[in-house]
Structure 1
Amino acid sequence: MSDMPITQLPPAFNGEIQDTLSVVFREEAGKVLGTLLRILGNFEVAEEIVQDALLVALERWPIEGIPTQPGAWLLTVARRRAIDQLRRDARYREKLAALEHPVVQEPDDRLRLLFTCCHPALSHETQVILMLRAVCGFTTAEIAHAFLSSEVAVARRLVRAKQKIVQAGIPYHTPRDEDLDERLSEVLAALYLMFNEGYLTSRGNDSARRDLAEDAAWLAALLTRLYPREPEPLGLLALMRLHLARADARFDTRGKLILLADQDRSRWDRGMIDEAGAMIAQAAALGRLGPYQIQAALVACHAEALSWEATDWRQILLLYDLLMQMAPSPVIRLNRAVALRYVAGTEVALAEVETLTSELEGYHLFHAIRGSFLLELGQREQSQAAELRALALTGNRAEQFLLHQRLQQRDGIEELQSL
């Protein structure tokens, strides 16, 4: 199957064609694949036909020009190729008729594709890989780069996932109303995992993969359009956009991570922050509060503060208390302890952190936060040991550089700041 990276077109292609084809594939490929998958019922065949249609575009657009409606053009070419293939097999006459007289169901098709990729029978990481491939149009090489894996390993994983979809009889449809809450939570969790990996990568030379984070936000936006009465997709999209709003201020020119307290807030995208705030209000108006909405409100408290000193830590602490009631976890308790430090003091916050030792021993931020608290309380040796442990546990280069810097600057007390 063809696997030409859409972001790495041949050098002879001019910028307009390259940019347009990238946009078309990102926005339309999932739609076309969903339509073909609904009719053909075969993931592999549908995906191969979409790839073939893309290759036709690569061959013809530089000569004939970009179509007025490039997405419709791609769908037409894919449908014709599917018809040609089915005509050679008499078993598919019924499906052939569906292709020759198509019914437009683009939003439903993309929605079905999202839920198929995020079926609970598949692991969360496999769900993300399938979404990147089927809905976002990532190539095997691009997925391998995002997950720091080999192309062979990713290709095998994709094959196994598609086989499992067939063998387990995973349906290609949106869930029934009574199943929606569970299935929607799977989709949201997979999107959040994808976003977090792009926002601050876990391994590799890149500290962040903004393209990956933006693709996750794009999928979340799609979900809000397809489910306008569901508040949690709006909450997740708001959360993503609030983080992306300060993306330009998070790293210096050398790729060094700039902590929240030190960021140039004039570089934050205030328009995006305002849009996210409107989404939070829109979600709240639906009357069903959820964890993603609360997380978005937490980040909004930071985004709306004009300075680090103006941060409303009491409001943040109250939001963490609410989040703990809805979705308790050791990581949320750890983040709450950071807010607690600014409300009740470092000793109280450290006592809370110490209760999480057994649960978060393998989490680098637990040791980094604990080390910062210990340093503030004058326990320098214990602080150094904690930060060395954090350094050993993180694979992100920007975080490694920051921890190295903190270890080298033991003269004064480092103020704890949110990443």
Structure 2
Amino acid sequence: MSSILIIDDERAIRNTLSEILQHEGYKIDVAENGEEGFEKFKKNSYDVVLCDIKMPKMDGIEFLEKSREVNPDVPLIMISGHGNIETAVEAVKKGAYDYISKPPDLNRLLITIRNATDKTTLVAETKTLKRKISKVQEIIGESEPIQKIKDTIAKVAPTDARVLVTGENGVGKELVAKWIHEQSNRCRGPLIEVNCAAIPSELIESELFGHEKGSFTSAVKQRIGKFELANEGTLFLDEVGDMSLDAQAKVLRALQEGTITRVGGDKEIKVNVRVVAATNKNLMEEVEARRFRLDLYHRLGVILIHVPSLNDRRSDIPALVDHFLTNICNEYGTAKKQIAADAVTMLQQYNWTGNIRELRNIVERLVILSDKTITAKDVQENVRM
């Protein structure tokens, strides 16, 4: 049963539309102004939204802009008795699915809603297919440490336990986080990734928790943070060891209370988020150096997964090389190249300081520079041993 949110400050309109659409078999939720509608939009899942334009507190255009930041896939049908062509054009430019004048023509309204719900279904099916495709990209390897990781993921993923993934750069920590999300009960929700090392310390709080318009010089409009965007899904905090102490304190509070507050705001916003964190640092050493909070470490590290370096899982290199050969040759649109056994042996003896990422780059180099079969000589000439 498709669900529809009706936002209109006129009770008669709300009641009339509710009765008609319930009779057509839709599940209906209502709000009497934009603010109430926006709160319901953030907390619930809707297939279509019918939204009036002229309303107190928050008008339809503002609701349209804010809702696009939360979930741009939900079709919004704008309705108004004060409509003109300029308003309709503005609404469509900002992402509205369609625009209907009051009083609405019943047949046109029902057709528009039916088409909008079809669009929602197609978007959902497309995302499902993408997730199925992503599941093909398995964690490659049968070595003992990799098998242990796979077994741990199978046990942990269906729960909401927080996971801390550790390991050197390039070992595949992000892939582990994605697999935890894919195999979890939250797989239909979003997986939101944040690289804590790539964001300046003065902006990390805004990135995680969002900010209100005017909260600082460049805050020209309200921003929804990653915690809110990850609601009902998974938040992946990559390189969490690089997060500032101030941001750590706020993340700890969010994990403890299940609420966040935007920068420059005072309203507490409930979030239902599973956090998976990753780091290439030894967090206990960071705790001793007073660069990382011990209480946050214990909050994040309910389950600990260490991803070994490639040098510690050399038996997986033949499978990884074969996997990369297939993918890279497909990307280039060429027949899959073969690799000689002695060439693979040479790769197994290499000191992999860059781990999986370095191995993929070298395989790509060999694909480009070698003939149909990659030989030991090719490896010797193109890989610095």
TM-score, shorter chain, exceeding 0.5: no
With the length of structure 1 as denominator, give the TM-score of the two structures. 0.28
* Larger relative helix fraction: 1
How high is the TM-score relative to the length of structure 2?
0.30
